[in-house]
Amino acid sequence: MSSAIALLLASAVACVCTGCAGSDPSRPTVTDRARHAHPSAALIGDNTKTDCVYAAESIGVLSAFENLVERKFDCVLVYNNASPNWAGWEHPWFLKEQGIPSRNWWRWATAPGTHRQLVITQGMFPSDVDGTNWLQAGASGAYDAYARTLARNLVAAGLGSSVIRLGHEANLSGSPWFIGTTRQSFQLWDEFWRQTVLAMRSVPGAHFLFDWCINAHVEPIPLAEWYPGNDVVNIIGIDSYDEGVPAGDDRWSTLYNQPDGIKAVLQFAAAHGKPVSIPEWGLWTPGPGTLGGGNDPAYIDHIASVVRNNPVAYQSYFYNLAPAALLSADPQSRMAYQLHFGGGSDTTAPAP
């Protein structure tokens, strides 16, 4: 139990409901929503720093990860960011009977006698909207009905208290929902994000927490220029991998202090009374294309220090591809993870 995050979340509730421009005093507060949440959910936001994992969309991979780091996880990150059409966007794959038990995440999350949660990475629109004037349409509310249907489907599946990581990494120019480069496009994007959140919140039984998440180390657009607003954001997130640092540079100092790095997000979130998340993080393969740190237990130590010393609502290791291979193969990196987030106890992480 962390008193620091308890205080920050209390501040966030006050800001969302009583003190921010554009807030709606009649809307249930974060605390009200959590109080009526599905009993198998709402780990995040209950005054704990929740440890999550992305397990390559496989319950079997989750089990392998749990064995590797010697602990069980009650929070998993999933993706619904590649739907081909609105039908798939409204009814995510993880709500369906897959015929493959290892992919039935809604059953995992709502299993009787458990207290589990999904962090849902939700695209802002399906791929068949690519190439259209989605910014104008979304900002005008043209897609609100789809958002309400998505929310109803999640609530009906017992996932009404999920964290929704909506339109993640929109500051990345390769993202389908890239915010663009002009003040006008920023404003339209913000309004689209707001419309989606308000539509989803309007559904009875919806107690979602919305995570506004940037990608670190790219497109350092000032955060204030495209922040949707305190009344529609519950958590401010940053995806930050151990990559992009040239040989000879101080890896952690570079990652931490870049214009859109972890320090900037911590400061921005504090100024807005919001907790922080690190929904994607992990080791990365070294090489000229990625400038990754490879086997780098110091990076894990520093991430742990950020989580311990700041109001971080949740963090999620990306256990797939290079981050999975490196953590599995390197005993020192694995021991660092186990110490801070696994079966060990966090006592020695250095301050950033």
Segment 139-155 mean pLDDT: 98
Nearest alpha carbon to residue 319 among 75, 1, 80: 75
For each of the domains in the chain, give its residue range(s) and CATH number, in order of start: 3-341 (3.20.20.80)
Q: Where are the alpha helices (DSSP H) in 15-85?
A: 30-35, 59-69
pTM of the model as a whole = 0.87
pLDDT tens figures, 288-331: 989 999 999 999 999 999 999 999 999 999 999 999 999 999 99
| pLDDT above 60 (res 336) | yes
Decide if 181 contacts 54 (C-beta within 8 A). Answer: no
Bigger pLDDT: 221 vs 136 = 136
C-alpha distance across the termini of the chain, in Å: 22
Nearest alpha carbon to residue 161 among 66, 75, 225: 75
Please list the helix, strand and coil fractions of the chain in percent, rounded to the nearest 5, in that order. 40, 15, 45
pLDDT category of residue 101 using cuts at 50, 70 and 90: confident
At residue 98, the pLDDT reads: 72
Segment 11-25 mean pLDDT: 31
pLDDT category of residue 70 using cuts at 50, 70 and 90: very high
At residue 7, the pLDDT reads: 36
Q: How many CB atoms lie within 10 A of CB 14?
A: 16
Whose tokens are 């080791």? That residue is: 283
- 3-class DSSP assignment, residue 16: helix
Decide if 126 contacts 84 (C-beta within 8 A). Answer: yes
DSSP 339: H
Rounded percentage of the chain residues whose pLDDT exceeds 70: 85
Whose tokens are 């798939």? That residue is: 88
Bigger pLDDT: 14 vs 291 = 291
| pLDDT above 90 (res 29) | no
DSSP 46: S
pLDDT category of residue 14 using cuts at 50, 70 and 90: very low
Segment 166-174 mean pLDDT: 96
Rg of the Cα atoms in the chain: 19
- 3-class DSSP assignment, residue 135: helix
Whose tokens are 């204030």? That residue is: 224
